[in-house]
Chain A
């Protein structure tokens, strides 16, 4: 039985437990039909030209974890931003772990999707927002059909959340291979501020494939800072589908740190629905071995007077592969749009590959759009300069890599997180630079 067939028959079994008369049930039924029709994307689709899921789909994944495993805090503490106080939503093999989490209902909701889906007091929010920003592509639809658990975050108007919120998905390897589908809904009210850190972390060498969907709604003048840390085991693969719907005068920033995992696909979609929105998409990708990371971004400028800034840096060693596919659409009404996209890559080894494809579709006539893409090797003159100061080749390369990636780090607004990322970068590059980054 193919994995697709397995999923379809699992859905039939799941249906028995589902809420019957709710609009959500119709949503799930529609979603599974979409998935049944379209199936998993293949390289024949333009958007998946450089990323094949074939080898991942041969594995016989468990869709639900049968055994529960306890995760000890001291084993996983390092994956939390433990230097500072944070709210935490921790999931182990797709199941909420109350012991490791720190939720709240005190003037804001940082809690569970399962609760939000089942309790009537959340019904208006679910009806207003759930699946309203998500595209109906097959992977998102698959997640929608099976939606069970994830983060539910609702920040009321004018609330400035005093500490960051961490969403952490652990997989334990209790099952030989696991298929996870977290579903997050984040609603940020008018003029509210929030910082969120999301991480997927495998705790074993067993295979895991995650198909995650996150919807973020930023209401008028809301401010959202979102950080994705992707530094997983070589047996963990991730398809991340994130949809951000921005109302007028909102600022939304997403930083993606793609340092690990087997195959990672980031579908990051921004929709600017009101005037004077600001969107920032930044990423650092550092890969080696046979790692593959595909950044597929969309910024959809729908309303006038908005800005978007994209800055993706990639360092590819050994036989790793990177893809950057950045699409900007400027609708006819989106006059005075200022859209900027930058993608710079360094191929460290001869076998490394990067496929970069900027796409601009502009239907308005008074806009400023620019994009730049570079693919290069190390600058020999720069290396000579550093080495002539007594800095060894390995360290000189590390220093240049650090300098290269640095512009993306500048805008990280949580100092402890910035320090963490700095250390991760130094660690990825495999060298201590002899000073505190």
Chain B
């Protein structure tokens, strides 16, 4: 599904990602772990198409199409979703109206008519229930005054509504207490199927107890320096990242 080949990307002529190679197949859950400043969020943003970053070498393909030159909305239309670490507040636009716009814009891009209102309402109700989201919450302005947990839950709600093929969860666990974390993880698991994939970006192993990865990759200084199975995450939790650095030397 997603193939990243020898990817170099960064800001203002300085590469933050220094030769990333990664393949994510349909049905898989991958976790990217790494210390602060290793390039985890940059990788998420580059895959989602943030234009601030320059790709200087390598390429990204999604379902065998080179997406390196596509803008963020075009990538979203192809089924890539990024759950933000810091979701943006949009006053005056309710959660419901925002998601309606997002869904219908995506449908428009695919040459489909707007989703009928009744269908939309049904879907909103269903997904909100799944994520234990209160109906009142949906009429509030997007992310405005939301707690950290509410923001993340709202991100997963959008993911549930947009039904992406590839969901990238950037530090979705940060700012969540254990109960909120369980609800969010449970939502992600319910959305998981053999046709889609999840890329979890996290600093800690904690989230991986609930969203169990098939593969774990360690990102350091813009490179994937080690890959393994979920046991690697436990090892990192226990021993930190220093032993990998030593191993590399």
Which residues of chain B come closer than 8 Å to A384, judged between CB atoms? 45, 48, 50-52, 72
**Measured between alpha carbons, how far is A383 from B132 in the docked complex, in Å?**
28
Query: 1/0 per position for A390-417, CB-CB distance to B under 8 A?
Result: 1111011001101101110110000000
In Å, the complex CA distance between A384 and B45 comes to 9
Interface presence of B92 (CB below 8 A): yes
* Interface: A379 (CB within 8 A): yes
Per-residue 0/1 for B159-199: is the Cβ within 8 Å of any A Cβ (1 yes, 0 no)?
00010000000000000000000000000000000000000
Q: 8 Å CB contacts to B: which residues of A355-411?
A: 379-382, 384-393, 395-396, 399-400, 402-403, 405-407, 409-410
Q: Say how far A400's CB is from chain B's closest CB, in angstroms.
A: 7
Residue of B at shortest CB range from A436? B97
Which of A379, A391, A393, A410 contacts B101, CB < 8 Å?
A: A391
Q: Nearest Cβ distance between residue A84 and chain B, in whole angstroms? A: 24
* Option from A385, A400, A405 in Cβ contact (under 8 Å) with B87: A385
B84 at interface by CB-CB < 8 Å: yes
Contact B109 A390 (CB under 8 A): yes
A434 at the interface (CB under 8 A from B): yes
Whether A403 lies near B71 (C-beta < 8 A) is no
> Counting CB contacts under 8 A, is B231 at the interface?
no
Q: Give the interface SS of chain B, mostly helix, strand, loop or mixed.
A: helix
CA distance A378 to B102 in the complex (A): 19
Contact between chains at B92 and A389 (CB < 8 Å): no
- Interface: A435 (CB within 8 A): yes
* Binary flags per residue of B91-104, CB closer than 8 Å to A gives 1, else 0: 11100011011111
**Centre residue among B76, B88, B101 by max chain A CB count within 10 A:** B101
The answer, yes or no, to whether B150 is at the interface (CB within 8 Å) is no
Q: Are A402 and B88 in contact (CB under 8 A)?
A: no
State A390–B82 Cα separation when bound (angstroms).
11
From known contacts A399-B90, A434-B114, A435-B100, infer whether A388 and B105 are also in contact, taking CB-CB under 8 Å.
no
Among A382, A391, A395, find the residue whose CB has the most chain B CB atoms closer than 10 A: A391
Partner of A390, one of B45, B77, B84: B77
Q: Which residues of B contact A388 (CB under 8 A)?
A: 48-49, 72-73, 75-76, 81-82, 84
Interface residues of B in 52-91 (CB under 8 A from A): 52, 71-73, 75-77, 81-82, 84, 87-88, 90-91
Task: Please indicate the chain B residues that have their CB under 8 angstroms from the CB of A405 in the complex.
Answer: 92
Chain B residues within 8 Å of A399, by CB: 90, 93, 98, 101
Neighbouring A residues of B51 by C-beta, 8 Å: 384
Do B101 and A434 touch (CB < 8 A)?
A: yes
Q: Which of A379, A387, A409 contacts B71 (CB 8 A)?
A: A387
Interface residues of A toward B: which range?
A: 20 to 34
- For B102, what are the chain A residues with a Cβ–Cβ distance below 8 Å? 389-391
**Residues on A with beta carbons closer than 8 Å to the beta carbon of B98:** 389, 399
Cβ contact of A380, chosen from B48, B52, B100, B109, cutoff 8 A: B52
Residue B158, interface by CB 8 Å = yes
With A395-B101, A435-B100 already in contact, the answer to whether A406 and B82 are too (CB < 8 A) is: no
Chain B residues whose CB sits within 8 angstroms of the CB of A389 once the complex forms: 76, 81, 98, 102, 105, 158, 162
Q: Within 8 Å CB of B81, what residues of A? A: 388-389
Distance to closest chain B CB from A67 (angstroms): 46
Q: Write out the residue numbers on chain B whose beta carbons fall within 8 Å of the beta carbon of A400.
A: 90
Nearest-Cβ distance from residue A246 to partner chain B, whole angstroms: 30
A73 interface residue, CB < 8 Å from B? no
A407 touches B91 (CB 8 A): yes
Hey, which chain B residues are within 8 Å of A382, CB to CB?
Answer: 88, 90
Cβ-based interface call for A433 (8 A): yes
In the complex, chain B residues 90-133 whose Cβ is within 8 Å of any chain A Cβ: 90-93, 97-98, 100-106, 109, 114
> Chain B residues with Cβ under 8 A from A393's Cβ?
71, 73
Q: Are A406 and B50 in contact (CB under 8 A)?
A: no
Residues of A within 8 A of B106 (CB): 390
- Give bound CA distance, A400 to B97, whole Å: 13
CB within 8 Å for A387 and B100 given contacts A382-B90, A400-B90, A406-B92: no
Known: A382-B88, A434-B101. 16 other contacts (CB 8 A): A384-B45, A384-B51, A387-B76, A388-B49, A388-B75, A388-B76, A389-B76, A389-B98, A389-B102, A390-B102, A391-B105, A392-B105, A410-B92, A433-B101, A434-B114, A435-B101
5 closest Cβ pairs, A-B complex: A406-B92, A387-B72, A390-B76, A390-B106, A389-B102
- B interface with A by C-beta (< 8 Å): 45, 48-52, 71-73, 75-77, 81-82, 84, 87-88, 90-93, 97-98, 100-106, 109, 114, 158, 162
Jot down 13 A-B pairs with beta carbons below 8 A, ordered by A. A380-B52, A382-B88, A384-B52, A385-B87, A387-B49, A389-B81, A390-B106, A391-B101, A391-B105, A393-B73, A395-B101, A405-B92, A434-B105
